[in-house]
Amino acid sequence: MNDYFDVEEFTKIDLIEKFSKKIINEQKIYKQHSDFFEKWLKTNDFDNFLCQLIKKHDGKYCKKCKINGFEPHPNNLLNFIIEYITNNGESVIISKIVCDFPNKVWFFKNYYYQIIWGQSAIIKIYDKNLKLLLLI
């Protein structure tokens, strides 16, 4: 009986180590992507880039998500941008952006990014004049 528990305990430790290595690897990859993105920002047009990302999240994209059984969500690239902003930026309080649910707003490169938490997360992107550009 003790041998059984030793094997089980070894398996738990092994799984924890594997999970820890996975997290460390993901953090390294995120750091590499962040460094690349920061260099890219210095020489490229972020407005044009964000406009293209928003166009990719149009009604056709949302319909495709729903057909596949998912709620519309940011693609990997937009998800990285949002993660980068939330990890590296400071949140701001904008009195004109009112929400009854827990939420946070960040300002980055002349755009406001809002995440609203409820049963799921909703992401909104506004321009500097608070015109809603994307709701996903």
74 and 121, same domain (yes or no) = yes
Per-position pLDDT tens, the chain of length 136: 455 555 555 677 788 888 899 999 999 999 999 999 999 999 999 999 999 999 999 989 999 999 999 889 999 999 999 999 999 988 999 999 888 899 999 999 999 999 999 888 999 999 999 999 999 9
Q: Which domain holds residue 36?
A: 1-44
Gap between the Cα atoms of 97 and 116, Å rounded: 11
pLDDT of residue 3: 52
Domain count, the chain: 2
21 and 69, same domain (yes or no) = no
Q: How far, in Å, are 6, 23, 56, 124, 132 from residue 97 at the CA level?
A: 56, 35, 24, 10, 10
92 and 75, same domain (yes or no) = yes
40 and 61, same domain (yes or no) = no
pLDDT of residue 13: 78
End-to-end C-alpha distance for the chain, whole angstroms: 53
99 and 112, same domain (yes or no) = yes
Gap between the Cα atoms of 5 and 15, Å rounded: 15
Q: Which two tokens stand for residue 128?
A: 């500097």
81 and 38, same domain (yes or no) = no
Q: What is the pTM of this model?
A: 0.82
Q: What are the two backbone dihedrals, phi and then psi, of residue 93, each rounded to the nearest 5 degrees?
A: -110, 120
pLDDT of residue 119: 85
pLDDT of residue 10: 60
